[in-house]
């Protein structure tokens, strides 16, 4: 259903590795990654093995160097295919850990969390329906975090180092 190709060098040169499913440790296939081609599907690409470190959400297209996918470096350690989803979208965000404090429910994209929620930080959330991408800064910029349905009691549960979330949006209509 999905296909992604990783290349060691820029502009799709050097050794390559083709992947069509989740891979928890890619270090045995290449030592660095400087370009990626996504033939189909949406993918979460992680800086470190075991789905850790910086996250990059990529859709169909060509990324001739790591800056094109907003990469901080040429390290890719694992990847995960985002399964297709065609249902409703619903997420609840909270101003405190463990679903405490003010709560607001969203069913659509939010380009600026502060404008809608009046808080600059999201400490916990409950993804009730759909797949979502949280961004560190407003207008879908900065570090990215992939969230599937489930409870996230603190920001570290979705892989963040702090609670700063400036925007978020749904992953939809991609297959």
The predicted model gives 140-168 an average pLDDT of 96
Query: Is residue 175's pLDDT more than 50?
Result: no
**pLDDT tens string 32-85:** 999 999 999 999 999 999 999 999 999 999 999 988 888 888 999 999 999 989
H-state helical runs in the chain = 113-117
Neighbours of 30 (CB within 10 A): 18
Whether the CB-CB separation of 51 and 12 falls below 8 Å is answered with: no
The predicted-structure confidence for 9-34, as pLDDT tens digits, reads as follows 999 999 999 999 999 999 999 999 99
Domains and CATH numbers, the chain: 3-82 (2.60.20.10), 90-170 (2.60.20.10)
């Amino acid at each position: 259903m999905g296909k992604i190709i990783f290349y060691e060098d820029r502009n799709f040169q050097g050794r390559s590795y083709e992947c069509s499913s989740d891979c928890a440790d890619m270090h045995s296939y290449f030592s660095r990654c400087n370009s990626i081609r996504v033939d189909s599907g949406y993918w979460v690409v992680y800086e470190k093995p075991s789905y850790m470190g910086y996250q990059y959400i990529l859709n169909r297209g060509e990324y001739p160097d790591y800056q094109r996918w907003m990469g901080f470096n040429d390290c890719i350690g694992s990847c995960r295919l985002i399964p297709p989803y065609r249902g409703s979208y619903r997420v609840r965000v909270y101003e405190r850990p463990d679903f405490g404090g003010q709560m607001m429910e969203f069913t659509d994209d939010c380009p600026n969390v502060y404008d809608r929620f009046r808080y600059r930080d999201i400490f916990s959330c409950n993804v009730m329906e759909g797949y979502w991408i949280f961004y560190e800064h407003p207008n879908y910029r900065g570090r990215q975090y992939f969230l599937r349905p489930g409870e996230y009691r603190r920001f570290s549960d979705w892989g963040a180092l702090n609670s700063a979330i400036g925007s978020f949006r749904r992953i939809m209509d991609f297959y």
